[in-house]
Amino acid sequence: MAKKRISMRKIKEVLRLKFEVGLSYEAIGKSCNLGHTTVGEYLRRAKDVGLAWPLPDNTDDSLLERLLYPPAPGPDVNRAIPDWENVHKELKKKGVTLFLLWQEYKETCRDGYEYSWFCRNYREWSGKIDVVMRFNHRAGETLFVDYAGHTIPIIDKGTGEIKESQIFVATLGASNYTYADATWTQSLPDWIGSHTRAFKFLGGVPEIIVPDNIKTGINKSCRYEPDLNPTYQDMASHYGCAIIPTRIRRPKDKAKVETGVKTVEYWILARLRNITFFSLTDLNKTIRTLLEDLNNRPFKKMSGTRRTMFEDLDRPALKPLPVEPYVYAEWKKAKPHIDYHIEAKGFYYSLPYQLAQREMEARITQNTIEIFHKGKRVASHQRSYEISKRYVTSKEHMPKSHQKYLDWTPDRIIQWASRTGPSTAQTVEAVMKNRSHPQQGFRACMGIMSLGKEFSDSRLEAACLRALSIGSPSYKSIQAILKRGLDRLPLQKEPQQTSFINHSNIRGPEYYQIIMGGDNNVDSPNH
């Protein structure tokens, strides 16, 4: 009451300064410590009720307050009250606003309440319903995803080992329609797999996915620009939706996520606490049954269920599923070496040689390897799993100087090396033994043969003999032997026998001695 009496005294002072002293709004505001807009509001109200200055003698503070601020009228029993539940439901549809719903209400009820009353009473009504239903998310707009804090143990029948399964939860914002499944881990493949199964369960895709800053999907949490995992972003692009993580230290962002998780924990996981599961499949079958019960459970303070709300609101607004589901792919940043190959999962894949030593991204699926430069795909290969084919090279990626090596056979390379000596030929053959692509082995052989020009053919032959004797027939080993002069020292043991390439054009070590005695006119690759 003290605050009201002070307000009335200020209003009286405003009226006095205006009509008795004749001050401006700004001067009155400074004198009364009020804003000029507040001064104008006081004077407008006084004018509307016909107050003059000086005030009548019987005008006390209570009467002045009733004149200037009359109580809001109560609901008129003769006026139609809006169906707030229908208003709440319609408000979730795209493009629908309170003003539009009020206009429609006034069209059916000409003597209905005004807009300010409509808004105020709707907010009062919505504040009384379940917190789970209170948030006004648009139909088909948002899917909230997270993992439950509880896990479900699964027992291995063979070993008796107990392993905890993780529970993924997804809840639509408008209808609260809920999906859940169990996976072994919270790793990226399981995280992505749960999303694709959730979309299939819903029969469509929402506009926005809101994860609770989980480390699996978010590489780096940030209040304004969280760094999404490339695979997660790739999945969102495939389905045509956006990923908007909850903001750090913003409880309102997380309320819907946490509510959905708690609902699953109360109505599903708590019911499983006394059931023993022996497989992930059995657990997910049970979860699916309990999901049906949850989504068909009537709301306490509203009519309908999650399923009926989903059918009315979310399902019509969801975007259609793509023709093919997302194929899990990992992304890796890579910089190719001078041989224009990048490493992916222990294998090497070529790209155009002009892009050697530039930053690339590799998209790795179960069957393919795609290479991107600045967002543009520059190469694609079938993924290799054969240890004997560690290098996967496309001819069109090779420079012309390398492509000509494809015309050379292993036998021709060995014959060329045999002109230096049998040990050199045997070393060259050993170098090619574990190479899956000719270009890879031929380049190393050229390096070995070039050492003959630097140190002489006789020293190269001696170095190859020593390299064979220590079981290290490679370019780097032979180069080190020559640089240190070890080729001039006597051998401590006989050269080791190497296993040769199974190739129809290779004749074996005895052939080297034969061709050394003849007139060999094999050209080197430099000719």
Provide the pLDDT for residue 336.
84
Region at 349 (left for phi over 0; alpha for psi -120 to 50; beta for the rest): beta
Query: Do 144 and 171 touch, CB atoms closer than 8 A?
Result: yes
Residue-wise DSSP of 182-232? EES--SHHHHHHHHHHHHHHHTSB-SEEEE---TTTEEE--SS--EE-HHH
Provide the pLDDT for residue 312.
87
Query: Do 273 and 351 touch, CB atoms closer than 8 A?
Result: no
Tens of pLDDT, residues 321-377: 999 999 888 888 888 876 788 888 888 888 988 887 788 888 888 889 899 988 889
Which residues does 219 contact at the CB level (< 8 Å), separation at least 6? 227, 228, 229
Predicted TM-score (pTM) of the model is 0.53
Provide the pLDDT for residue 276.
92
Provide the pLDDT for residue 107.
77
Q: Quick one: CA dihedral 105, 108, 114, 118, positive or negative?
A: negative
Provide the pLDDT for residue 30.
84
CA-to-CA dists, residue 18 to 37, 40, 45, 469, angstroms: 14, 10, 14, 113
Helices 475-484 and 438-455 pack at an angle, to 10 degrees, of 10
What are the residue boundaries of the structural domains of the chain, listed by start? 2-68, 84-128, 142-317, 330-398, 404-517
Provide the pLDDT for residue 74.
56
CA angle 31, 33, 36 (to 5 degrees): 85
| Cα–Cα distance, 164 to 149 (Å, whole number) | 12
Provide the pLDDT for residue 192.
92
Q: What is the CATH number of domain 142-317?
A: 3.30.420.10
pLDDT-flagged residues of the chain (< 70): 1-6, 72-78, 92-95, 127-136, 213-227, 247-256, 301, 338, 388, 401-409, 434-440, 443, 493-527
Q: Report the DSSP beta bridge partners of residue 205.
A: 319
User: Per this entry, what is the length of the chain?
Assistant: 527
Provide the pLDDT for residue 435.
66
What does R_g of the chain's alpha carbons equal in angstroms? 40
Provide the pLDDT for residue 495.
56
Token pair 């004149």 in the structure block, residue: 67
